[in-house]
A and B are shown apart, each in its own frame.
Chain A
Amino acid sequence: MPKIRSAIELEECRSQILAGRDPAKPGIAVCAGIGCLASANDGLVKAFEAEVKRQGLETAVDIRATGCHGFCEKGPTTVIYPEEICYVEVSPADVPEIVSQTVLGKKVLERLLYADPRTGEKATRQSQIPFYSRQKRLLLGNSTRIDPRSIDDYLAVGGYAALSKALFAMSAEQVLAEIKKANLRGRGGGGFPAGAKWETARNAPGDEKYVIVNAHEGELGAFMDRALFTGNPHLVLEGLIIGAYAIGSHQGFIYTRHDNPRLKENIDLALAQAEEYGFLGENILGSGFDFKVEVHFDVGIFVSGESSALMRSIEGKIPEPRAKYIRTSVRGIWDKPSNLNNVETWANVPQIVSRGSEWYCGIGTARSKGTKLVSLSGNVVNTGVAEVPFGTTIREIVYDIGGGIPNGKKLKAVHFGGPMGGAIPESLVDTPLDFDELAKLGAAIGAGSMLVLDEDSRMVDIVRYFLNFLSEESCGKCVPCREGIRQLLKVVTRVSEGRGRKGDMELMEEIAEVAGAASLCALGKAASGPLLSTLRYFRDECEALIRQP
């Protein structure tokens, strides 16, 4: 493949790819997301490949091992094209029948369709399943159409057109202005406006600047970034290259998990293909813009997801965070201006550039624009990754998309943001998904994990669990975090075991206040989040534990 050297050549290349494809050709899109791979232990894709080969259909049928389809609860899922028939809980034993009956015979196998547990109604297509029909899948919508190992698949759905537009039809300042107008807010936890951060890095003194994809995803119960990045790596990469152009950076870093082999393979392959096609390297698409990317791995510590700590880790050092008055967008990796955004934030960039900020601002609420990926887990019927517009109520997410609480139990609380987040009680589930609305309630949205808790859950135990996790993950650099969490855990453990003492409530609040005010980074500052929300909404429950003899 010769490098693409202009916007026209890119469109020619795209036309060629599309011309070589027959929309009526049968295709099998097997979910190879982390949950589906694990539930079939990689056997399903192999079974399809073997069966297609056995029937001599290699050229007649396409098999795509795609990224996560999102409906992990009913995994492994498979979509048969061109009819878009969606099968759930497919096992390798079903494969011969699917190939002969559905792919060749065009017959629908009723037993593999999703059946609504409430009505018994069967759904033939993804869009008829309530889990999907309530979503707005702008980032995930192509997941069944793309083999993450094929850049041609990404080009076939319009990939890299936004990059071409940014490089040839827009100045760097215009790209930046568009991101600012779109009010794209960071999806990693803080909700900080990405445009403002980009501008700081752009205006910071120095020629050498860096852009970073934070794909650490350490938040417990969060698995949407992995799903998106593994399933559509070029989308994130395209966003990153556009960002680099706007900021004036020529070196990017991807910081990701080491424990997910497929994610690693897909990123490496995407980078190699992007370079081969001329989307990375020198003189990208003939525009004169140079940019390259290096991949680094987290080696198993939660705190290395914090921006300044992550940058130390990239330098090959211990991931100890730094005080916030020095902004990483001014002094980051090797003290050079470094702009860090998480996977989902970068993935939003191409659509804002290609469809414009006005379109983007039409989705969401007044101050939270666009869609948000959420990972549903815990006591919920449908565990999985969903994408909803901001403004969708928590009730809709838990009941309509999540299918409610299993075993006829009642909902007690929904916990957002993992160890540094907070929970809202059942009485507040009509709150819309919105950065500011949820922060006001003491349950910051975080990266997007939603842990659903049923009536049997004891909130104090959840707090204890998160504090226990953080006490092992604190880097230990600053005393308020290291000792504060340890002492909080001690008191919370005592309370949860029914050995609470008079004054423990006040003591917990006092420690939480000091650790929150004096810790260096968000890990210590927000460590008491789950505790404070429990004291706010479930105070009686804690007091009852202390009053016990």
Chain B
Amino acid sequence: MTMRVAVTVNGTEYARDVEPRLLLIHFIRDELGLTGSHWGCDTSNCGSCVVWLDRKPVKACTVLAAMADGRIVRTVEDLERDGRLDPVQQGFVACHGLQCGFCTSGMMMTARWLLDRNPDPDEAEIREAISGQICRCTGYENIVRSVRWAAQNPGNPEHPAETL
């Protein structure tokens, strides 16, 4: 049994016939081929799969694709626009906010959400925001610094993407 699901992902509408049980993370990765969002635990603990659903971060391993029908999804692939990196992406490079890179997409999506609501978060607010996500490499220190960097460089005209 399949059902029709239409989701707008990164500004493009995709319609697919999928099993009702298909998870959103598998829809994004396997049906649409957007592999920047990852899968790490199945139990909503690790946050490797965080994407935006209607402008809010969700863990796509515990959302059905069917639940995203008619809604808007944004993934890491949409952070860079017109060849210009999001300040969050620049911050992660400048502050060594990633090592293996597996948690990075989810961390950046949460960071962008946080900065949109709170342009100048302090360390405690950043830690709280990413506390539902796990990183095994960085000990979180440089992720926090990366988000602070992005907060301090919101317009980034003097930091074109190519230089980082």
B is bound to A? no
Q: A residues bordering B, Cβ < 8 Å?
A: none
What is the interface of chain B, defined by CB distance below 8 A to chain A? Answer: none
